[in-house]
A and B are shown apart, each in its own frame.
Chain A
Amino acid sequence: MSRFIRMMFLVLIAIAVSGLFYATLAAQKGSENKGRFYFRQTCKECHTKGAAGGEVTPLNKTMEQWRAYFAKGTHNHGKEPLSKYLPADQLLDASSFLINHAADSPQPETCGK
């Protein structure tokens, strides 16, 4: 029993630490430029119209929702960690891109773009 309790305690610690890690990640600022590349290269394969994961664009969530998503750090309705697809530094960059182009982020349009 005590072995079981020790194991559960370690699992809880691991979840808390990874949650803290992803929360910290979400608060940092990555490279939006590179984040766009990682998002398109890795995520778009499944998250495009007609593909397995359904279309995902930055406009799918508000800034706060994207921050919360990356703070949680899980994918596919919590079944797997985001780190399965992108390492931490690339996740940071991808999160910066998505947050800065979110459904409620300031995105003034320009000419010829």
Chain B
Amino acid sequence: MDRRRFLKFSAGGAATAAVAASVAYIGPFNHAPAKDAERLEIPTTCEMCVNKCSVIAVVENGVIHKLNPNPENPKSRGMLCARGNAGLQQVYDSARLKRPLIRVGERGEGKWRPASWDEAFDLAANKLLETKTKYGPQGTLWSSTESFQEVFFQNLGAAFGSPNRVRHATLCLASVNLAYSLTFGTVPSFDLINSKYIIMSGANRLESFITPDTMDLIESAEYRKAKLIYLDPRFTVTASKADEWYPIRPGTDLAFILAMLNVIIGESRYDKEFVANYTVGFDKLVDYVKPFTSAWAEQETEIPAIDIVRIAHEFSDASPRAVYYAGRRSSWYREDFHTRRAQAILNAIVGSWDREGGMVPNGKIALGEYLFLPWDDPVASRVDEMDKNFPLAAKGDGAYLKLRENVIAGTPYPVKAWMIHKQDPLNALPNQARTLEMVKQMDFIGVVDVQMSDTAWYADVIFPESTYLERTDPVEVLSGITPVVVFRQQVVKPAFDTKPTLEIAQGLAKRMGLSQYFDYTIDQWVDAQVKELPLQMPLDHLKKHGVYVPSDFPKYGTTLNPEHRFITKSGKIELYSERLEEAKYDPLPVYHALSQPPQGKFRLILGRRAYFTHANSTNNPWLNQFAPENRLWLNPTAADSLGVGDGDLVEAKSSVGSVRLKARVTQEIRPDCVFMLHGYGKKSKWQRLVADKGGSDAELLETAWDTVSGNASMHETFVSVRKV
């Protein structure tokens, strides 16, 4: 299948486009390979989610026919999930971006004209420089999501002089990362495969996200008979496989953990030697947890006190092979940070640190670096005023929702140009109406993406990025209990007129007097990175195998010696945090009872299904088949009271928006909650499989953030529901 045939297919109108799309995506695959077809198996690295599994692409005559797992990477456990397999749709789906586009008509009308790269670069660079002249470089915002080429986009914004960089982490795991960083000086991995007792709060690891952690949990719980305790307002796939599931009242996980601490400390079931040698602040913790009895926690959580006590006993008996799993997305409540701190403290006092089956600090592999003299630090401080509002949080990530509020208000200064890389803020941020206000007041929006996301739909210039299968990227270390180095090399030439992010950054940099910071090729960058690997010909090795696996991991116990200094203020594991105290936060986790939904309303809770990565793959034709639309989960009691039957169209309404979608009436959710999947009800008409299908949770979610980390709080919204 060559490029001309693809372009022919995609040239039709809307009606024919749908047909053309279905033909185009099966086109390369509906024939048997020719006998003398050139067949290559090229190792590379997946980009369908944050996990970066190793992949072998089967390529015949320049077309990718299949993506297979690469068994050489132990971190990807010899598997490639549904998303990984569907990755080749990024290349061949006719709905993808194929050339630069410049908006004609109003933002959101979806009217575009194709442009040359020069034209797109010229327009964007002029707009950015105009903004710099009027408002200073701080008048530009650079938003990005992790990717191997994110560094070039971020460097462009930094070289431009803007302090305003904001990343996806502040919508996801900023609170859990900060909590564990402050306690241990690092965020560890969880050695689930060797654990004997695992507690998970809402971390739906067998359904929401299929990763090596998932495989380890299956091995551990199903085959090695570890006990799995699962707390979630929903009966998920993980609940179905757990030994015990508790439909915990939302927002009370901290009460559960505090009661466990009360039992374990009160009955001297903690690891005394570990606490004495490696922690500080235990004496303050002892008195602090006394009021948090199991009887009190039962009132808060609706989990029987007798079970809380028994679980605390079992947990401490199984330690150090016992873990309270930290979770990944921790963007739940305003006090989420404290819940994660309590988890970290609980794991620490039973000595589940740097031992098999416990939390283990990540192994690292040193890479070389392409060195060049960088730019000066920005002069202005950040628009989200991180130093004032969230002094302990990761400044490079920012606090997205606070940033949005300040940008809309124009304080402390105007931000008028927005560059976005591999991100869809219209869906990623709660309260879409507010994001649209932010969009409206921008003089310029430029988007780098592989598909016409909802945010791209509102952009002024779109730079089509080459997909991960069409480009070579910087080498990355995947740190963990068994760290590896993964390589992403170009599998096929770009099928359309697209560029990797480095070349997009170079095109813009040239026009803004910043070329000296991008004066290298990707090959030069990679060469510099790999030269320090302990291999004879490191690049050849990576091209052939796709991965470098050092032989000296896992390593347990590297920090368990009196000389080791944890990267904390005290040099020890901080059960009590002076750093939190100095910043005027609670040094021990404080429980604030959440307000519960009033009569007739429901708490909207979120979650994921492993077919989809947030909002960016629901339009993938192969993945969409698994869930063509989202539905609003309602308990039968709630549904009966509303006169709603399964499959009925309902309207869910919050204080900031409303959406319509079908109901799924199920016992699998608490009566006081509703649930919906993310990534539907799109505005972008190019995402034809999900445009106006189902509802977008971003339209319903209210603006709220965690008090310490600034992480978005996405489970604080109450909605009313009615049949329509």
Q: Do A and B bind each other?
A: yes
Binding site for B on A (CB under 8 A): 31-34, 36-37, 40-41, 59, 103-113
**Cβ of B3 to closest chain A Cβ, rounded Å:** 32
**Cβ of A29 to closest chain B Cβ, rounded Å:** 9
Tally inter-chain residue pairs, CB-CB below 8 A: 76
Most chain B beta-carbon neighbours within 10 Å: one of A31, A107, A109: A109
B182 touches A32 (CB 8 A): no
Q: Which residues of A contact B174 (CB under 8 A)?
A: 110
With beta carbons under 8 angstroms apart, the residue of A32, A37, A111 that contacts B50 is A111
With beta carbons under 8 angstroms apart, the residue of B168, B373, B394 that contacts A108 is B394
A108 touches B375 (CB 8 A): no
Most chain B beta-carbon neighbours within 10 Å: one of A34, A40, A107, A112: A112
B181 touches A108 (CB 8 A): yes
A111 touches B568 (CB 8 A): no
Q: A31-B376, A33-B377 are in contact. Are A110 and B167 (CB under 8 A)?
A: yes
B177 touches A109 (CB 8 A): yes
B377 touches A31 (CB 8 A): yes
Most chain B beta-carbon neighbours within 10 Å: one of A33, A104, A111: A111
Judge whether B226 is part of the interface by a CB distance below 8 angstroms.
no
Judge whether B397 is part of the interface by a CB distance below 8 angstroms.
yes
B377 touches A32 (CB 8 A): yes
**Cβ of B333 to closest chain A Cβ, rounded Å:** 19
Q: Which residues of B contact A40 (CB under 8 A)?
A: 369, 371
Judge whether B569 is part of the interface by a CB distance below 8 angstroms.
yes
**Cβ of B616 to closest chain A Cβ, rounded Å:** 15
Interface string of B564-583 (1 = CB under 8 A from A): 01011111000000010000
Q: Which residues of A contact B562 (CB under 8 A)?
A: none
Judge whether B208 is part of the interface by a CB distance below 8 angstroms.
no
A111 touches B392 (CB 8 A): no
Q: A34-B376, A108-B392 are in contact. Are A103 and B168 (CB under 8 A)?
A: no
Judge whether B651 is part of the interface by a CB distance below 8 angstroms.
no
Q: A104-B569, A107-B181 are in contact. List 12 more A-B contacts (CB 8 A).
A: A34-B373, A34-B374, A34-B376, A104-B571, A108-B393, A108-B394, A109-B180, A109-B187, A109-B394, A110-B169, A110-B396, A113-B396
A110 touches B373 (CB 8 A): no
A27 to B128, CA, bound (A): 35
Which of chain A's residues has its CB closest to B369's CB? A40
Judge whether B21 is part of the interface by a CB distance below 8 angstroms.
no
B186 touches A109 (CB 8 A): yes
With beta carbons under 8 angstroms apart, the residue of B150, B377, B392 that contacts A112 is B150
B567 touches A107 (CB 8 A): yes
Which of chain A's residues has its CB closest to B150's CB? A112
Q: Which residues of A contact B567 (CB under 8 A)?
A: 59, 103-105, 107
| Nearest 5 interchain pairs by C-beta | A112-B146, A111-B169, A108-B181, A108-B394, A110-B394
A104 touches B568 (CB 8 A): yes
Q: Which residues of A contact B374 (CB under 8 A)?
A: 33-34, 36-37
A59 to B50, CA, bound (A): 28
Judge whether B46 is part of the interface by a CB distance below 8 angstroms.
no
**Cβ of B133 to closest chain A Cβ, rounded Å:** 24
A34 to B172, CA, bound (A): 30
Judge whether B372 is part of the interface by a CB distance below 8 angstroms.
yes
Q: A34-B374, A109-B394, A111-B168 are in contact. Are A103 and B565 (CB under 8 A)?
A: yes
Interface string of B380-414 (1 = CB under 8 A from A): 00000000000011101100000000000000000
Q: Which residues of B contact A105 (CB under 8 A)?
A: 567
**Cβ of A35 to closest chain B Cβ, rounded Å:** 10
**Cβ of A67 to closest chain B Cβ, rounded Å:** 15
A110 to B567, CA, bound (A): 15
Q: Which residues of A contact B377 (CB under 8 A)?
A: 31-34
Which of chain A's residues has its CB closest to B391's CB? A106
Chain B 130-185 residues near chain A, CB threshold 8 A: 145-147, 150, 158, 167-169, 172-174, 177-178, 180-182, 185
A40 to B371, CA, bound (A): 8
Which of chain A's residues has its CB closest to B328's CB? A111
Q: A33-B375, A34-B373, A34-B374 are in contact. Are A106 and B177 (CB under 8 A)?
A: no
**Cβ of B30 to closest chain A Cβ, rounded Å:** 37
A41 to B394, CA, bound (A): 26
Q: Which residues of A contact B393 (CB under 8 A)?
A: 108
Which of chain B's residues has its CB closest to A101's CB? B567
Q: A32-B377, A33-B377 are in contact. Are A110 and B571 (CB under 8 A)?
A: no
Which of chain A's residues has its CB closest to B158's CB? A33
A105 to B169, CA, bound (A): 21
Q: A31-B377, A34-B376, A37-B374 are in contact. Are A110 and B569 (CB under 8 A)?
A: no
A20 to B277, CA, bound (A): 40
For this complex, 20 residue pairs linking A to B, each with C-beta atoms less than 8 Å apart, are A31-B377, A33-B377, A40-B369, A59-B565, A104-B568, A107-B181, A108-B178, A108-B394, A109-B177, A109-B181, A109-B186, A109-B394, A110-B167, A110-B177, A111-B50, A111-B168, A111-B172, A112-B50, A112-B145, A112-B146
A71 to B373, CA, bound (A): 25
A40 to B396, CA, bound (A): 21
Q: Which residues of A contact B158 (CB under 8 A)?
A: 33
Q: Which residues of A contact B150 (CB under 8 A)?
A: 112
Which of chain B's residues has its CB closest to A112's CB? B146
Q: Which residues of A contact B565 (CB under 8 A)?
A: 59, 103-104
Q: Which residues of A contact B371 (CB under 8 A)?
A: 37, 40-41
Q: Which residues of B contact A106 (CB under 8 A)?
A: 182, 392, 579
A109 to B186, CA, bound (A): 7
Which of chain B's residues has its CB closest to A38's CB? B373
**Cβ of A50 to closest chain B Cβ, rounded Å:** 11
A1 to B147, CA, bound (A): 71
Which of chain B's residues has its CB closest to A49's CB? B366
A111 touches B173 (CB 8 A): yes
B372 touches A37 (CB 8 A): yes
Q: Which residues of B contact A59 (CB under 8 A)?
A: 565, 567
Which of chain B's residues has its CB closest to A41's CB? B371
Q: Which residues of B contact A37 (CB under 8 A)?
A: 371-374
A32 to B158, CA, bound (A): 13
A62 to B236, CA, bound (A): 46
Q: Which residues of B contact A109 (CB under 8 A)?
A: 177, 180-181, 186-187, 394
Q: Which residues of B contact A36 (CB under 8 A)?
A: 374
Q: Which residues of B contact A33 (CB under 8 A)?
A: 158, 374-377
**Cβ of A68 to closest chain B Cβ, rounded Å:** 17
A85 to B373, CA, bound (A): 17
Interface string of B38-58 (1 = CB under 8 A from A): 000000000000100000000
Q: Which residues of B contact A34 (CB under 8 A)?
A: 373-374, 376-377
**Cβ of A36 to closest chain B Cβ, rounded Å:** 8
A103 to B563, CA, bound (A): 13
Which of chain A's residues has its CB closest to B579's CB? A106
**Cβ of B655 to closest chain A Cβ, rounded Å:** 30
**Cβ of A9 to closest chain B Cβ, rounded Å:** 41
Chain B 67-87 residues near chain A, CB threshold 8 A: none
**Cβ of A61 to closest chain B Cβ, rounded Å:** 10
Most chain A beta-carbon neighbours within 10 Å: one of B145, B169, B571: B169
Q: Which residues of B contact A107 (CB under 8 A)?
A: 181, 185, 567
Q: Which residues of A contact B369 (CB under 8 A)?
A: 40
